[in-house]
Amino acid sequence: MMSWFGGRKRSAESAKERLQLVLIHDRTDLSPAELTALKDELIQVISRHVDIDADSVLIDLQHDGRSQRLVADIPLRNVTRRSAG
């Protein structure tokens, strides 16, 4: 949420958002660059089997209490099946 005055984010909010990211990377020992590589490879592997909408893929690390999870939302493209006979 933005502040009504000046449109700048209040500092506590920046602190929380930045910490959320830093803690996830500290806890998983996974750097932002490694996460990007992981995402790219995942997309490649999945694309080999199904047709996916690569631009809409969402892969993210989330935390719930003290546990981390890798959450992926991968939209599949509809395949127009050839009608039989």
Q: List interacting residues with another protein (CB under 8 A).
A: 3, 10-13, 15-16, 18-20, 22-23, 26-27, 63-66
Helix (H, G, I), strand (E, B) or coil at 41: helix
74's CB contacts (< 8 A; 6+ apart) are 43, 46, 52, 57, 58, 59
Nearer of residues 18 and 69 to another protein, judged by Cβ: 18
CB of 25 to another protein, least distance (A): 10
Helix (H, G, I), strand (E, B) or coil at 3: coil
CB of 9 to another protein, least distance (A): 9
